[in-house]
Chains A and B, each alone.
Chain A
């Protein structure tokens, strides 16, 4: 996103016609950009200083400011500064970073809503303090005119406050009533309105009891719960949205001989699309021109790149590795295989919201019960007193106020906020409101291999078996290519202190490999058939030198923390399953290394989903951890799902929790914290129920005073919040 600032210094209309020198200058000067990066691993003052200084020392960067709460940095820089460069520099400083879409970020709807809630909370807090102060005087024995005066002042403060600060409850209660449902907000709104109306009536009549303090503190505590709830969700949602903005939906289209960049929505079937090496296929298509290898790992889990040439079919989401390709589009946008899969996910997503959280279940019991109690009290006292409506309404309002779910409204949000905050600090983003509760029930964990347990980055093995000369030639050839295997080979041998041999006439043959001249001999590094070697069963690249061939095998690097995570899960008594779309040769050693006995290789996307469904049918609650398109169906079918931030868009959308960092160990913490959080939520319900069991009979008997209501309300809310903070 770019923006130009031109403060208007001119006031007279005549001047406004003439473009100011400043404006001209700003048009000519490079425009500034604002870049946003997500920083999953930043956590302290030192990180903040290192990152800000590191970025500000780069040429073209004007300022950088870290937001530690949201784990992101915003950078003001010249237009020619790219996010890639910043990410590279941050990596050098030791921080992982991902680009975010700054356009989405500026002032989002959720941001405005949380400001609004906070403001209402502030107003409610202010008047709660003032009204309480006046109420204490009344409780401690103010009489006659003084009490009257205090009630009136309380009314003047409380009524506008409830009218303003209570709006979120009134709105949602009204929506509930219109939809003929009985939500938690209906009794809340009823209690607020009834308390205010009755207290106003009593004040006018010069009565003893007024519940203004109760009405206002009720609003305050409930708003606090609402705000916590909103904040957790907003932080998770905005970060998830911005991760989604990582993939730019554009394609390079050849039209009338010229290459133009078009948004994906404007690409139609029959267009010619060019995909550069390293780029992701934006559409489904048939290769018209060019030869290359494509990486299908995100779609199928295969780690071996697949050769493509004219006539091969490719699908959206695959990554082009070596040579430029020109595709004839067979399906674009909504019809592409990538998008169809994403649509399936959307359907399944809506099914998932059917899970009713603990809060919802509590509300389903609570709301009718409260109305019944209050109505019953009204009828009983009307009959008992022989038609004293004022007294009966007093009692039924007191019942509503005392049972009002201050603690219930805080019970879930306070715990969820504490837990999500803890997990966010560990690098896990909770996307779904009930994800934590579902996570607590998990007894089976299913992992995908490529990109989940592994990083999807190849690493050469057994290099030391070869003579140094062979390696140095291979390294020189590898350095000339951007193929992932070549890059890994070059980097790995460089790390071992090997110097590349001097080769001439180096060039890359797209789709095959690299060749060059070494001491007058032809040397080739690339596909087995091209160099004349017999292919191995594992990922490998082959070298031809002096008529002999050498094979360099690769293994996928294990994600940091994967071993620890799997071992810890097994120690917790969870069943661990590995389902991979990759070949047996790659899966078996990985499973053995991690100690997973239950593994399946060559699994198709449907196989994965079927396996998860079968486990579910046997009564298991499955946690699916996966990153590829081939995992999405399984991610959706599972009880709860996690995907790493590097996962494909569709997979991240389908999952409930996103792992922001590379380390896998937080998953174990997540399971532990989730089950702890569920315990706390249940304790909180028990606490608020206990308060009600004591207070409700008093209210029903007509013995409740405003003081008792205030005590019950504040004490239960505070105990519940403190209990939530016990989360470790």
Chain B
């Protein structure tokens, strides 16, 4: 059972990375328009180099 010494911190670390990613997404306002973002992938026009989005859309 010594393996637990590595596995538990590892699982916590991975979970923590997920949590940090969630915080980042939240701060980045990615939950602002879920319906619109879902539909945006269906837009017929696309760019090779999309401009950075305005954060307060």
Contact = CB atoms under 8 A, between A and B. Distances in A.
Tell me if chain B binds chain A.
yes
Interface of A: 44-45, 48-49, 53, 63, 65-70, 74, 76, 106, 115, 118-119, 122-123, 126, 129-130, 133-134, 146, 149, 153, 157
Contacts of A129: 15
B12 A130 contact: yes
Given A49-B45, A69-B34, A126-B15, A115 B26 contact: yes
Given A66-B36, A130-B15, 18 more contacts: A45-B42, A48-B36, A48-B40, A49-B44, A65-B53, A67-B32, A68-B33, A70-B33, A74-B56, A74-B57, A122-B26, A126-B15, A126-B19, A129-B15, A133-B11, A134-B8, A146-B4, A157-B12
Contacts, number: 62
B45 A67 contact: no
A66 B33 CA distance: 9
Q: Please report whether the interface of chain B is mostly helix, strand, loop or mixed according to DSSP.
A: helix
Contacts of A133: 11
Contact of B32 (A49, A69, A153): A69
A69 B36 contact: yes
Interface in B19-46: 19, 22-23, 26, 31-36, 39-40, 42-45
A189 B15 CA distance: 27
Contacts of B54: 63, 65, 76
Contacts of A134: 8
Contacts of B11: 130, 133
10 contacts: A44-B39, A49-B43, A67-B36, A76-B54, A118-B26, A122-B22, A122-B26, A126-B15, A129-B15, A157-B12
B2 to A, nearest CB: 11
A67 B15 contact: no
B26 A65 contact: no
A512 B13 CA distance: 80
Contacts of B4: 146, 149
A65 B43 CA distance: 13
Contact of A67 (B23, B33, B42): B33
Contacts of A44: 39
A149 B9 CA distance: 13
A597 B36 CA distance: 45
Instruction: Please list the 7 inter-chain residue pairs (A to B) with the smallest Cβ-Cβ separation, ordered nearest first.
Output: A68-B36, A45-B42, A45-B39, A65-B57, A69-B35, A126-B19, A67-B33
Contact of A106 (B22, B33, B56): B56
